[in-house]
Chain A
Amino acid sequence: MVSVLAALRVRAIKTEGGRKNLENQYAIEMLNITKKFPGIIANDNITLQLKKGEIHALLGENGAGKSTLMSVLFGLYQPEEGIIKKDGEVVSIKDPNDATALGIGMVHQHFKLVDVFTVLDNIILGAETTKCGFLQKKEACKKVEEISKRYGLNVDLDAKVEDITVGMQQRVEILKMLYRDNEILIFDEPTAVLTPQEIEELMATMKEFAREGKSILFISHKLNEIMEVSDRVSVLRKGKYIGTVNTKDTTKQELSNMMVGRPVQLEVTKDEAKPAGEVLKVDHLCVHSHVQKRNAVNDVSFNVRAGEIVCIAGIDGNGQTELIYGLTGLDKPASGTITLCGKDISHASIRHRGEHMSHIPEDRHKHGLVLDFTLEQNMVLQRFNEPRFENHGFINNKAVRDYAEELIKKFDVRSGQGPITRARSMSGGNQQKAIIAREVDRDKDLIVAVQPTRGLDVGAIEFIHSQLVAERDRGKAILLVSLELDEVMSLSDRILVMYEGEIVGELDPKKTTVEELGLYMAGAKRTAKEETAV
């Protein structure tokens, strides 16, 4: 077995020595790629050139054709037109095995790991070292340890994948590529699932790879990350190639305009909140944790008034999910009271709570949608038995169809076949838009929105933010849970910071800074309890 270290060193020397000659050499060139699907051209004459040792960002809205293009490169799709070149030579990639043989590796947005296998087993799966048909795990283990030490990719090789954090799972995926000595690394929206700290680590690792001469394709629609880490950016829009720019010569605004095709409002514009009467009041609420012995939500009190956006900030896993479960009825509160529109709903059913509350759930696949249902069926998930949609126990199909079409139009939900599209076949952004449409249109006094913009592109984020602000201005009370600091700072009228199940501070976004907010989120600072209790 060739030592990876040696291999890497050789490559590093090569790159350094040959940098001048290779200046204009591309590691991968995808020239004039066209890929059609029935009814749509997913990639229309797209050219993408990846230089050796660069981090090349691929930017585009949901459904712009980024994933299709990467699937073509990875051999999952065959393009109708166009050629792929590796180191200047035309290659044919018929399936992912060809891609691996060419040194192309990919970290998928949704990880491809076997949950019940250990980390080590996952890394070597498909590239096992064997002797007479027996696994040589020791050697593999040594190689993996070397790589992980070299790049500071800490993983517990013996842990089962189902037991480790999402961030560590991603490191496993990265180690998989390194174990196979891949030199072209594709990261498909790698930061969507990570915490801010993990994102920073990932960025550092990516830069390290690039320094060593590996070429990186970084698919994202988060402009901050692209600005920080990439050397060049290629932008796709609706299946077409818009252009490639050097990151240092461009701005976030320019990139987002290229991506969306019109000037985008990156900052949320909103007037001063005019809070009115109290809509939601939470008093000394406790919710049990299903994982640990202690309460996931411990003695939390706050209120939300009509016409304001209250944001619960915090690092993922500090009790936000449980708090929302307790509020919306998905879980039973252990103690405390919840008052909604003057009524005690602490023990009310979900349906009963829904009379005054709509809920944009954190997990759109688990709670938000029935993926096997059509879009129109999903649009009436809570309302199917309202007189408008029900006739003596029968579904009024026409009313449902009309209503779905109305929402689709109003909220610009894009899908292949309109109301009869299966929710499963829609892009993530449009699934989220469908949920937002449904929940906002239910027209309830309180909107609980949990990470409503997670994984969405700037165009969709802008739309959702403006919808939430519009609802606020219509006098709705909005409780927002967000992990994105930008979103917290720009959208909220009041910030409540959660740390280890408790609210440790109430901040005014106009008077505080991101740094101060970060200190609260990390638990390094807290206001006395009496002050936060409302």
Chain B
Amino acid sequence: MKKEHFLQSEGSKSVAASVLSILIGLAVGSIVILIVGLTSPNLSLSSAWDGIRIVFGGLFSTGRNAAGTLTWGFNPTNIGNMLFRAAPLIMTGLSVGMAYKTGLFNIGAPGQYLMGTLVSLSIALGLPSETMSTTLIWLLAFLGGTLAGALWGAIPGLFKALLNINEVLACIMTNWIAANLVTWLFDISSFKNVTESTKTGYIYKTTYNGVATAKMGLDKIFPNSQVNGGILIAIVFAIGVYVLMSKTTFGYQLKACGSNRHAARYAGIADKRNIVLSMAIAGGLSAAGASLYYLSGNTEFFWSTYQSLPAIGFNGIPVAMLASCNPIGIIFTAIFMSMLDISGLQLTNLTAYNEYITNVIIAVIVYLSAFSLVIKMWIGKLGKKNDDGADANAEPAPVPSPAADAVPAETEKGGDAK
């Protein structure tokens, strides 16, 4: 048998599809910049060119020199901030990706994130730092937040397992319950920032109580940035999820339940327990992301959240999809997404454009990542043309749906109608 063409292996196809989505997204962003630049009387072609360059290389822009042209180089602030923002995104990405691998769509990440925020901030600000070590408080706050998210995530899991209620519906409802709950509880709490009168509606930073995530030396590498050990913790979590899902019998059970609940039950696997556990772990991951973000010491929580849900929870979905739900891939896609954030800030600071351009780019990428299967097939065909006789499936099943019958394709799937 011939050696597999590199575009034929599943893994590299996924990576190629993601990279393609990203490139197309960036290209569309550039086109938008160009159109805005050419149609607006205030902007010139050269400012559009500046904008495009920042979209692609915002991470390495260091500002403008005296002559007004963009300067480039290693920018530790940008990279540090990017890593700082990536940490919670990795966690929500893992939350969505891990649930997805077990056949559940965790759209409840924002609610779990909020519950994590509530509990970890309450512990971090509530425990007396005079009598306790702040490291211990940090640890308790982190674990408490994670646990809260796990319990919150378990609720839709229970509904799904016991009453067969679609987890998406239950998740959406628990999201809003969480938003209101968090608002009310902070409203009656003593954690509202009253010392800085300009900031109404904010909760104290955890540094108010002396609690902050350890820098773990990262501030030496990336000075003048918000970076801390959170990114390292998130990466450890990603590796942990990878090991859990691919190497352990527990992960095997979770995946079996996710792919075919009936077969798992038939084999004596406790399907209900596993569905609840899956959602609980997903909830815990999302909430741990919130803990990492708010325990950093330099972030403030705006507590009147009942009108909106934290975008970082929803952003876990594109992060996970773009990485095909591979935990290791999620590290990179989350970092990439936060890089776009940084580029957006650079656009606002250095050009006449604002950060909404990067929202367009993210939107396009999210759209395309939803089509990743189509893109993958397309790449597969491309690979086949170059190298005939790769993919080795000895018994090709006939293509199921003949267009002549004009009936939508009906894929056979384990009898498990979702």
Contact = CB atoms under 8 A, between A and B. Distances in A.
Interface string B168-190: 00000000000000000000000
Interface in B371-418: 388-408, 410, 412-416
A114 interface: yes
B396 A37 contact: yes
Contacts of A141: none
A416 B392 contact: yes
A68 interface: yes
A425 interface: yes
Nearest to A37: B396
Contacts of A100: 404
Given A71-B399, A112-B401, A366-B415, A38 B266 contact: no
Contacts of B64: none
Interface string B250-286: 1011011001101111111110000000000000000
A407 to B, nearest CB: 16
A71 B401 CA distance: 11
B412 to A, nearest CB: 7
A377 B252 contact: yes
Interface string A158-202: 000000000000000000100000000000000000000000000
A112 B405 contact: yes
Given A71-B399, A370-B259, A350 B266 contact: yes
Most chain A Cβ neighbours within 10 Å, of B390, B395, B402, B413? B395
B66 interface: no
A296 B395 CA distance: 39
B3 interface: no
A381 B263 contact: yes
A97 B260 contact: no
Contacts of B397: 67, 425, 427
B249 A390 contact: yes
A133 interface: no
A243 B330 CA distance: 56
Contacts of A351: 268-270
A361 B405 contact: no
Contact of B416 (A114, A126, A366): A366
B407 A125 contact: yes
Contacts of B270: 351
A523 interface: no
A373 interface: yes
Nearest to B393: A416
Contacts of A365: 412, 414-415
Nearest to A76: B399
Contacts of B405: 96, 112, 125-126, 176
Contacts, number: 167
Contacts of A39: 1, 389, 392-394
Chain B, interface SS category = loop
Contacts of B253: 384
A99 B260 CA distance: 36
B248 interface: yes
B252 A395 contact: yes
Nearest to B406: A126
Contacts of A393: 248-250
Contact of A367 (B266, B388, B398): B266
B405 to A, nearest CB: 5
Contact of A110 (B263, B393, B400): B400
A377 B262 CA distance: 16
Contacts of B392: 38-39, 416-417
Contact of B407 (A114, A363, A372): A114
B389 A38 contact: yes
Interface in A337-393: 349-354, 359, 361, 363, 365-373, 377, 381-382, 384-385, 389-390, 393
A68 B398 contact: yes
Contacts of B248: 393-395
Interface residues of B, number: 47
A106 interface: yes
A414 interface: yes
Contacts of A77: 398-399
Contacts of A424: 412
Contacts of B391: 38
B242 to A, nearest CB: 13
A424 B262 CA distance: 16
Nearest to A367: B266
A353 B394 CA distance: 37
Interface residues of A, number: 70
Given A114-B407, A125-B406, A369-B263, A68 B396 contact: yes
Contacts of B398: 67-68, 70-71, 76-77
A385 B267 CA distance: 12
Contacts of B263: 366-370, 381
Contact of B415 (A353, A363, A377): A363
Nearest to A427: B395
A404 interface: no
A213 to B, nearest CB: 22
B410 A112 contact: yes
A40 B391 CA distance: 11
Given A384-B249, A393-B250, A415-B395, A38 B407 contact: no
Contacts of A96: 402-405
A183 B253 CA distance: 51
Nearest to A386: B249
B413 A371 contact: yes
A99 B405 CA distance: 11
Contacts of A377: 252
Given A100-B404, A113-B407, A125-B406, A368 B266 contact: yes
Nearest to A350: B268
Interface in A410-445: 414-417, 421, 424-427, 430
A95 interface: yes
Contact of B247 (A38, A71, A75, A395): A395
A348 B414 CA distance: 26
Contacts of A140: none
A74 interface: yes
Contacts of A330: 265-266
A37 B393 contact: yes
Contacts of B249: 384-385, 389-390, 393-395
Nearest to A426: B395
A426 B412 CA distance: 13
Interface in A77-106: 77, 95-97, 99-100, 106
A370 B260 contact: yes
Nearest to A115: B410
Nearest to B266: A367
A336 interface: no
Contacts of A354: 267-268
Nearest to B1: A39
A76 B247 CA distance: 40
A100 B407 CA distance: 14
Given A95-B403, A384-B249, A371 B414 contact: yes
A237 to B, nearest CB: 15
Given A74-B402, A112-B401, A395-B248, A416 B395 contact: yes
Given A373-B255, A394-B249, 4 more contacts: A40-B395, A110-B412, A365-B412, A366-B416
Interface of A: 37-40, 42, 63, 67-68, 70-71, 74-77, 95-97, 99-100, 106, 108, 110, 112-114, 122, 125-127, 176, 328, 330, 349-354, 359, 361, 363, 365-373, 377, 381-382, 384-385, 389-390, 393-395, 414-417, 421, 424-427, 430
Interface of B: 1, 247-250, 252-253, 255-256, 259-260, 262-270, 388-408, 410, 412-416
20 contacts: A67-B398, A74-B404, A76-B399, A125-B406, A126-B404, A127-B406, A330-B265, A349-B268, A350-B266, A350-B268, A367-B415, A372-B259, A381-B256, A384-B253, A389-B249, A390-B249, A394-B248, A395-B252, A417-B393, A426-B395
- Which 8 A-B pairs rank lowest in CB-CB distance, beginning with the nearest? A126-B406, A366-B415, A351-B268, A96-B404, A416-B394, A96-B402, A71-B398, A367-B266
